[in-house]
Amino acid sequence: MQRNTRQRSAIVETLSRQDDFRSAQQIHEQMKVDGETVGLATVYRNLQALSRAGRLDVLVAGDGEALYRQCEDDGHHHHLVCRECGRTVEFLAPKLENAMSAIAQEHGFTDVDHTLEVFGLCTEHSGTEHAQTDRDDRSDEADA
Amino acid sequence: MQRNTRQRSAIVETLSRQDDFRSAQQIHEQMKVDGETVGLATVYRNLQALSRAGRLDVLVAGDGEALYRQCEDDGHHHHLVCRECGRTVEFLAPKLENAMSAIAQEHGFTDVDHTLEVFGLCTEHSGTEHAQTDRDDRSDEADA
DNA sequence: ATATGTGCAAATGCTTTGCAACGCC
DNA sequence: GGCGTTGCAAAGCATTTGCACATAT
């Protein structure tokens, strides 16, 4: 990832206009709609490169599909994602990180890494009619 | 899942002799080695049926491959899995469950569900030579 | 100039499915 | 005997890769 190409910029551009997690194919589709002509393989290659470079969050959906979105937060964080629309809330759980390390160490595991993702239905897609106020994507902190 | 067939029994049998998470293909392979003749599609179909019936734990590896193993624990629990050999330790994290519910509720999400898996290298596959005692798969409890 | 990046199409790997044969109940 | 089950091969998907061409630096 060392050169600036029209395609790469377009991909980054598209991602920057996107709040929620999207699959490579959705992103490619979106670009086509926007009039950008970029090969699907190129989208895949760049998403990979960008996430390797730490500029994207990647999360693997239940069915194994990879979803991407631009990082909002630098540190290690987790996501609360709407199963319907992909709307995402980031949150931190420092106590969890510690607990995980402790458990891993107890069992002699090293090089540990963990994934924690929470899936649910956001206000707009919930069957019930919850009233609530906080509906932005700002980072939050859990007490776990 | 209403009839008992030779194939289904063989699959359950194979799973019961297996401590760690295995992919459908690995299970199929194992059965072939054991002299069982069962179609790959049948293995997939039964693994799905069994996990639907709550008799198997399923976890999706980083690359999207589904891994199965028979349930040890009834309740909701998580796994510490060796990236190399699949060796698995189950653990509970009740405080985490609560924290997740709280966060979800705060943001108006409903029908929440979460996945937490910890990957690492077990004692036998760690580059370093950790000394340790606890190396079984008994359930454990985290304070998070 | 030349190492990188791109596009396309073919290949991969896991998983699912259509359909005829099969075998529990 | 009927309906769930199986096997096989084909189809599906998301993703990766080989290779010739294009292009940023």
Q: Which pLDDT does position A45 carry in this prediction?
A: 97
Q: Of all protein residues, which has its CA closest to the C1' atom of D22?
A: A5
Q: What is the mean pLDDT of residues A127-140?
A: 43
Q: Which pLDDT does position A133 carry in this prediction?
A: 37
> What's the Cα-to-Cα distance from A113 to each of A80, A101, B49, B105, B124, rounded to whole Å?
19, 9, 30, 27, 17
Q: Which pLDDT does position B136 carry in this prediction?
A: 42
* Strand, coil or helix: A115: strand
Instruction: Give the residues across from B119 on adjacent strands.
Output: A113, B81
Pairing of strands A66-70, A22-23: antiparallel
Average pLDDT, chain A: 83
% of chain B exceeding 90 in pLDDT: 38
Give the sign of the dihedral formed by CA A13, CA A16, CA A19, CA A24: positive
**Are A99 and B96 within 8 A, CB to CB?**
yes
**Are B130 and A110 within 8 A, CB to CB?**
yes
Cα–Cα distance for residue pair A3/A14, rounded to 1 Å: 18
Cα–Cα distance for residue pair B50/B119, rounded to 1 Å: 24
Whether the predicted pLDDT of A27 surpasses 50: yes
Strand D contact with A3 (CB < 7 A): yes
Biggest CA pair distance of chain A? 54
The amino acid that residue B34 corresponds to is D
* Strand, coil or helix: B134: coil
Q: What is the mean pLDDT of residues B48-66?
A: 90
Residue with tokens 């293995």, as numbered in its chain: B43
Better-scored residue on pLDDT, B113 or B128? B113
Cα–Cα distance for residue pair A44/A31, rounded to 1 Å: 13
Chain A residues with CB-CB distance to B112 below 8 A: 80, 118-120
**Entry pTM:** 0.78
Strand C contact with B45 (CB < 7 A): yes
Size of interface A-B (CB pairs under 8 A): 164
Chain B residues with CB-CB distance to A60 below 8 A: 60, 62, 64
What positions of strand C are covered by protein, i.e. any atom < 7 Å from a CB? 4-10, 14-18, 23-25
Q: Over the stretch B69-116, which tens digit does the pLDDT of each residue have? A: 987 766 678 888 887 777 888 888 888 888 888 888 889 998 888 888
Cα–Cα distance for residue pair A1/A106, rounded to 1 Å: 39
Strand D contact with A45 (CB < 7 A): yes
Better-scored residue on pLDDT, B144 or A56? A56
Q: Of all protein residues, which has its CA closest to the C1' atom of D17?
A: A41
Is A19:A69 a contact under the CB 8 Å cutoff? yes
* Strand, coil or helix: A98: helix
Is A65:A23 a contact under the CB 8 Å cutoff? yes
* Strand, coil or helix: B117: strand
Residue with tokens 């992909």, as numbered in its chain: A86
End-to-end CA distance of chain A: 37
Q: Which pLDDT does position A49 carry in this prediction?
A: 95
Distance of CA B1 to the CA centre of its chain: 21
Q: Residue A19, exposed/middle/buried by CB under 10 A (0-12, 13-18, 19+)?
A: middle
The band of A120, judged by pLDDT with boundaries at 50, 70 and 90, is: confident
Q: Over the stretch B21-42, which tens digit does the pLDDT of each residue have? A: 999 999 999 999 999 999 999 9
Whether the predicted pLDDT of A44 surpasses 60: yes
What positions of strand D are covered by protein, i.e. any atom < 7 Å from a CB? 4-10, 14-18, 23-25
For the beta carbon of residue A80, count every other beta carbon within 10 angstroms.
25
> Nearest chain B Cα to A94, which residue?
B144
